[in-house]
Amino acid sequence: MATQFKRILVGVDDSADALLAFSYAIHQAKQDDAELVIVSILEDDDMNVYQALSKDYVHGERDELQRHLLKYQQQATDAGVTKVRTVIAEGEPGETIVKEVIPHVQPDLLIIGSLAKKGIAKRFGSQAAYMAKYAPIAVLVIR
């Protein structure tokens, strides 16, 4: 019998691979009747020092990301996933997901895309190998 997952964590950053990973995560969550937790990372290195010192800027970025994640949440709900929530964390994506998000969320599967996206969107791809190596749970890398 195949493993049934109870809580699936999926990393999103708007790259093509992350969208594939998200799509796969929706399918898996529906199949297993699992909770789907959608995570995105606000990366410190995307901000310059003045922005980092400005609470308004950081809150603005976070609010924008939160609104963006709600679209993913809605998409998952529309697709028939019954339990969906979102998480935003800050830092280096791979390390933050492995050391902070996974212990906090306690998923039994992490689904991520393999390629990085450049620009304002939060990127996971370059971090995929790190997460696959160090995550204490099953990791599915989609390409």
pLDDT tens sequence across 6-65: 999 999 987 888 999 999 999 999 999 999 999 999 876 656 666 666 777 667 888 889
Q: Is 92 exposed, middle or buried (CB count within 10 Å of its CB: 0-12, 13-18, 19+)?
A: middle
**Helix (H/G/I), strand (E/B), else coil: 119:** coil
Strands 84-90 and 109-113: unpaired
- In order of their start, the domains of the chain are 7-142 (3.40.50.620)
Q: What is the pTM of this model?
A: 0.86
Q: Assign 136 to helix, strand or coil.
A: coil
Residues 77-87: pLDDT tens digits? 999 999 999 99
Which residues make Cβ contacts (< 8 Å) with residue 88, sequence separation at least 6? 39, 40, 41, 42, 62, 65, 66, 69
